[in-house]
Structure 1
Amino acid sequence: MDGSNKNAENSILPIVQSQRERYRIRAQELEAQTLSQQQQVTLLQNEMDKLRSDNVKLYEKIRFLQSYPTKTPGSMEDGTEHRYSSQYEERLDPFSTFSRKEKQRRYMNLKPYDKITLSMGQFIMGNKVARTVTFFYTLLLHSMVFLVLYKLAHTEDCKRDLAVECHQKFADHMKKVHGEADDHFGH
């Protein structure tokens, strides 16, 4: 029995080792792929930030050129001008920049449950459907709590009344059947 156990272990051991080796290689491949994707995301994020900055600079130049009087007013009709004008104005305003950085700093100092609560609150306040669902959910929840409390109070009241009635019937029975002498069971 002991020899067959060792044979089984010896035959399974290479299989398990080769499987472990395949998993280790696959894990390394996945780690390399993840690292590559993270680098690509960082690269794209940096490129996007640079493009956004370039667009704001271009808008700044447009504003500068528009300040000179011309006979034909030029305007971008696709909303691009409006989008970059707000970013341009924000960039010029040091108070909004400070405020944004201060909000970000405070947000990073929050505990995870505070971040979740803040995110949920912002989602609910920013979405009409979420506000409506939350309102009716709260209304339903409060109604259920009040109904349960009412039912509990009514049930306890009924139990007390039943106990008093049962005690009175027992006392009347004791008095009627056993007489006045056994009054020590009653009151």
Structure 2
Amino acid sequence: MLLAKNRRLEHELTMARLAAAETEQRLDAAQGQVSELEGKLEDKEALVKQLEEDLLETRGAAKAAAGAQRAALLSLDGAGSLDAPTPRGGGGASFSGVGSGADEESVVRVLVGQRERLRARVKELEEQLSAARGAAEAARRQLEAARADNVALVERLRYVGGYRQQAAARKDAAGGRPAGADVEAGGGAAGDVVGRYAQLYEDRINPFQEFQGQQHEQKRRQMGVADKAMYGVGQLVYRSAAARLVAFCYLVVMHTLVFASLTHVTHRTSSQLMDHQHAALADHGHAARHDLTSLMTHDGTGATAGAAVAAAGEAAAKAAGRLLRRLLL
């Protein structure tokens, strides 16, 4: 049963190798076709540019020739004899002008038609180039899939080969026949395939990377609830651009709100403190003036001295208020 399974796996591996080789050939052919089409496209573009330049030169030459011919005819008409009628000369000039104009229009039509054909050909080549690029991309994807399938088949062959070697060792220890080399031992074309994809398989089962992953998972399981939450949020913000944008906007809005709230509370508290201090100073000044007036009335002192003392008290209150305002501001 194991031999049949091993043969089937080797057959699948051989077929996958053939498919991979065919895919590589198709990829090379597609890349060559793409390069060829790009070269043809560049040649056609250069030819179109050259034709446009030739068209401009042809138009300029035709105009110059028509002008020279008209000038020559006019000079001949001016130097002719009296018996030569003027209308004949004018008719010849107009005829030559019409002939040159017709030749120029025919050349322009030919060149324009050729340019349109070249444009259609360039468009067709661009479509072929796009199709070839798509085929090359599809062949590249098929090649990657075939490589992955080959690595998986190598893994299966390793598993079956290890099991067969253990069974052969047990049979040899029990007194059976020794395990000899056969087709299933990995010789021939199958052995070449195994050797080709063995390195890829070894890279996939790197023990150091696996150990690092296990250590990372173990450390993550040992973290507390808060650490796990912060780690999850950090991973989400690190992996997603939208999450980073949301976190940035949230931080900006929260900081702006906190600063605005602190500024408002500070200004309101300062205003209330100033009002309270002014009220206290005013009450204290009124009480002092009332006590002083009562004392002066009781003692029989003159009104002039009382007014002076009251003015001094108000001045002291105002000075104290200004000093307190400066300290608060």
**TM bracket, shorter-chain basis:** 0.3 to 0.5
Tell me the TM-score normalised to structure 1 length.
Answer: 0.46
Tell me the TM-score normalised to structure 2 length.
Answer: 0.27
Query: Greater Rg, structure 1 or structure 2?
Result: 2
Bigger relative contact order (CA 8 A; separation at least 6)? 2
